[in-house]
Copies of this chain bind each other. A is one copy, B any other.
Amino acid sequence: MTAGGACPSHETRRQGPNALVRRLARHADLSDAETGLLNRLSTATRLIGPRSDLVREGDDPGGAHVILSGAACRYKLRPMGTRHIVSYLLPGDICDADGATVQRADFSAATLVPSTVAFIPRPLLRELTAMHDGIARGLRAAKLAEEAILRMWLANLGCRSALERTAHLFCELLERLRAVGLAGEAGYDLPMTQIDLSITLGMSTVHMNRTLHELRRQAAADLRGRTLHILDRARLASIAEFDPSYLRPVLAS
């Protein structure tokens, strides 16, 4: 797998219903026509290697990227080269849903692991939202959920300890991955390294590692290799003070 490489039109294997459809249908009813449309979009995909940029800060995103498998993140680069991850993009998530309006990204985005990504160019994105109410509503809801996550992350960094922050992130990922069928009760595959986690949670890698050990010691969660085993979901949630309601915006009418 050549880093940064991309090969065109990759067949969509496993996980029956497409992640994007699943995601948008969560908040808005999609017509059959809309579902079909989204499924067709998802065939024009690229398999992108790990750690390759999708969008670079300051550039024109030109449209939206849809993560269909794998995982990516939005991040901010500081002048001195240090980075900070400001959100995770999981299957079904859309990077630059505002690609229709925004011409300069205020963040970069990159894959974390090899990922299948569909690109929706600006004109098509506009057409989709203008012509299909279900899709427009779904996109809006997805954006609201994302914003709520952003606020939650901010509160997390602002007033929780390393252990609490980590537990909170693991709870959130459990919910989000379950929503697209990528996690069971027992746990899930973490698509990021401890280094990624540490730059997300604002701590050193050394302390990240120690915090993971502490979670294991408290029999809450156990990260072995790529797999996160949820040992005691209630305990994890209680450490994190986790309340999942922010992940599911309630829409009017």
- A residues lining the B interface (CB < 8 Å): 58, 74, 76, 78-79, 82-87, 98, 100-104, 106-107, 122, 140-141, 144, 147-148, 150-155, 157-159, 199-202, 241, 245-246, 249-252
The one of B82, B144, B157 in contact with A154, judged by C-beta atoms closer than 8 angstroms, is: B157
Report the minimum CB–CB distance from A121 to chain B (whole Å). Answer: 12
| A245 cross-chain contacts in B, Cβ below 8 A | 58, 104, 106
Report the minimum CB–CB distance from A195 to chain B (whole Å). Answer: 14
Report the minimum CB–CB distance from A27 to chain B (whole Å). Answer: 10
List 20 additional contacts besides A101-B141, A106-B152; criterion CB under 8 Å. A58-B245, A74-B151, A78-B159, A83-B159, A84-B155, A84-B158, A84-B159, A85-B158, A86-B154, A100-B252, A101-B144, A102-B249, A102-B252, A104-B249, A106-B148, A122-B252, A150-B150, A150-B151, A150-B154, A158-B200
Inter-chain contact A250/B103, CB cutoff 8 Å: yes
Q: Which residue of B lies closest to A61 (CB)?
A: B252
Report the minimum CB–CB distance from A82 to chain B (whole Å). Answer: 6
Enumerate 20 A-B pairs (CB-CB under 8 Å) in ascending A order.
A74-B151, A78-B155, A86-B158, A101-B140, A101-B251, A102-B251, A102-B252, A104-B245, A104-B250, A106-B151, A106-B246, A106-B249, A147-B147, A147-B150, A154-B154, A154-B157, A157-B157, A158-B200, A159-B199, A159-B202
Bound CA–CA A158/B74 (angstroms): 14
Inter-chain contact B158/A103, CB cutoff 8 Å: no
Bound CA–CA A152/B87 (angstroms): 12
Q: Which residue of B lies closest to A83 (CB)?
A: B159
Report the minimum CB–CB distance from A62 to chain B (whole Å). Answer: 9
